[in-house]
Chain A
Amino acid sequence: DQQVKQNSPSLSVQEGRISILNCDYTNSMFDYFLWYKKYPAEGPTFLISISSIKDKNEDGRFTVFLNKSAKHLSLHIVPSQPGDSAVYFCAASARGSSNTGKLIFGQGTTLQVKP
């Protein structure tokens, strides 16, 4: 079962516009969410995170929104730049000894920002 889903395999936006990447989850025990960016031949790079006690976290051009009732989170990138072109992964974790260290990832969304 896919507990974290990124339903859009790809997204294309124009430079300077907003990019919105979406992520849905099914496990109500998830209480910490992260976004990672991955370039080819590199490991995932941490971008931003949010705890379930918040509904928004902002870091420069990146903002993550969490809607717990809908079990949905989104990453907004404003303004988008060509260097943002990469695969973006949403990940989630839950507290508890059986979940120690375990990040559950979505399948990823490939973002292309056109100049």
Chain B
Amino acid sequence: ETGVTQSPTHLIKTRGQQVTLRCSSQSGHNTVSWYQQALGQGPQFIFQYYREEENGRGNFPPRFSGLQFPNYSSELNVNALELDDSALYLCASSLPGAERETQYFGPGTRLLVL
């Protein structure tokens, strides 16, 4: 069974640029969630994708957008980067089912905005 993978592992961008982060979900999982983790904080929910549609969104501006593909992999796009976007971006996959879904996380992409 393949776990959640993310690419790239690290990225440096400058303010105003755009970035695309990628995530492959765990084998058999059809739902992907994205989180932003600032230094010293817990992860904050950005949005979730299920069957290629956005299925829930946290308190993030529209310049944070995403996609999910038929193979359940996903992208997070951030436009007009700001210094405060510097963080660890985590992707988690889950399989909606029985009791409640548990989300399984990838290793993250560390983004630095200069």
Residue of B nearest to A4 (CB): B42
Total number of A-B contacts with CB less than 8 angstroms?
A: 68
Count of A interface residues, CB-CB < 8 Å: 27
Interface check B84, CB cutoff 8 A: no
Tell yes or no: B74 within 8 A of A by CB.
Answer: no
Q: Is A62 an interface residue (CB 8 A)?
A: no
What DSSP secondary structure best describes chain B's contact surface?
Answer: strand
Interface residues of B in 58-83 (CB under 8 A from A): 58
Contact in complex: A93, B100 (CB < 8 Å): yes
Number of interface residues of B (CB under 8 A): 29
- Complex interface: chain A residues within 8 A of B108 (CB): 42-43
| A97 proximity list for chain B (CB < 8 A) | 56
A98 to B54, CA, bound (A): 12
Known: A36-B105, A41-B107. A100 touches B45 (CB 8 A): no
Q: List 29 A-B contacts (CB under 8 A).
A: A41-B107, A42-B108, A43-B6, A43-B90, A43-B92, A43-B106, A43-B107, A43-B108, A44-B90, A46-B104, A51-B99, A91-B42, A98-B56, A99-B56, A100-B55, A101-B31, A101-B33, A101-B50, A101-B55, A101-B103, A102-B33, A102-B56, A102-B58, A103-B35, A103-B45, A103-B103, A105-B42, A107-B41, A108-B41
